[in-house]
Amino acid sequence: MTTGLGELLAAIAPERTLDDAERHAAEAMNCFPYPNVPARDYEDCKTLLIRFMHHVDRHILHLPTWWPGETDRDFDWSRCGQFLTRAYGQEGTKAAWEMIRTAQEGGIRSVYQELARQIAEEYAWNEIRGRVSHFWWNSSVEELMTACDEYIQRFRHVLPPESLEHNGARIRISFWKVLEEHPRLMQRLHRVGRS
């Protein structure tokens, strides 16, 4: 029985998702024009961060340079704030503003770098989740059970031993989540292998 697991794993491989988004975010960082005076006040800071966020979006999504045109500033700042909160905690926007205002802890470049990383991670994560969801809902129960067996056999050597206990019960119970986390597991293994 063909399950399509191999095609899914190839489509969500880190070099096609996580690494690709990170590479485009790094390219965006390298070609973004940094202001001579980072920000005069908090509103100016918002404008700079929103501009940078759109710049990274364009690079990761391969959008034309004229995009986004007119946008909703409140929506954009809310989205930007979510990335900063993930990066710096509950008071993420204030923490970013302080780093930019005081030029401490790497200043605006450090904030841009973290914002780009968060954006790249979100785009990669959305692609992975979408592909896993498509695979899941377009497979029969039998195909999913066979795919799970195939996954356990194929990756037994890198899976935590406790996950293989009781015929891989932990993996079988949370196979959807295992598939979503697979690219991160492979990325970590590749990075360990290189160091």
Final residue in a domain of this structure, among 108, 125, 142: 125
Say whether the peptide bond before residue 68 is cis (omega within 30 degrees of 0): yes
- Residue matched to tokens 């406790």: 162
Average pLDDT score over the chain: 89
Confidence class of residue 168 from pLDDT cuts 50, 70 and 90? confident
Do 166 and 181 reside in the same domain of the chain?
Answer: yes
What pTM, to 2 d.p., does this model score?
A: 0.86
- Please report, for residues 15, 29, 59, 67, 75, the alpha-carbon distance to residue 33 in angstroms, rounded to integers and kept in the order given: 28, 9, 14, 17, 23
Do 12 and 52 reside in the same domain of the chain?
Answer: no
Whole-number CA gyration radius for the chain: 20
Do 52 and 118 reside in the same domain of the chain?
Answer: yes
Final residue in a domain of this structure, among 101, 125, 149: 125
Q: Are 127 and 12 in contact (CB under 8 A)?
A: yes
pLDDT, position 67: 55
Confidence class of residue 68 from pLDDT cuts 50, 70 and 90? low
State mean pLDDT over 65-70.
Answer: 59
Do 48 and 117 reside in the same domain of the chain?
Answer: yes
Q: Quick check: 193 pLDDT over 60?
A: yes
Confidence class of residue 69 from pLDDT cuts 50, 70 and 90? low
State mean pLDDT over 172-195.
Answer: 87
Question: What DSSP string runs through 122-159?
Answer: HHHHHHHHHHHHHHHHTS-HHHHHHHHHHHHHHHTTTS
Would the CA dihedral through 136, 139, 140, 141 be positive or negative? Answer: negative
Final residue in a domain of this structure, among 125, 145, 162: 125
Q: Quick check: 66 pLDDT over 90?
A: no
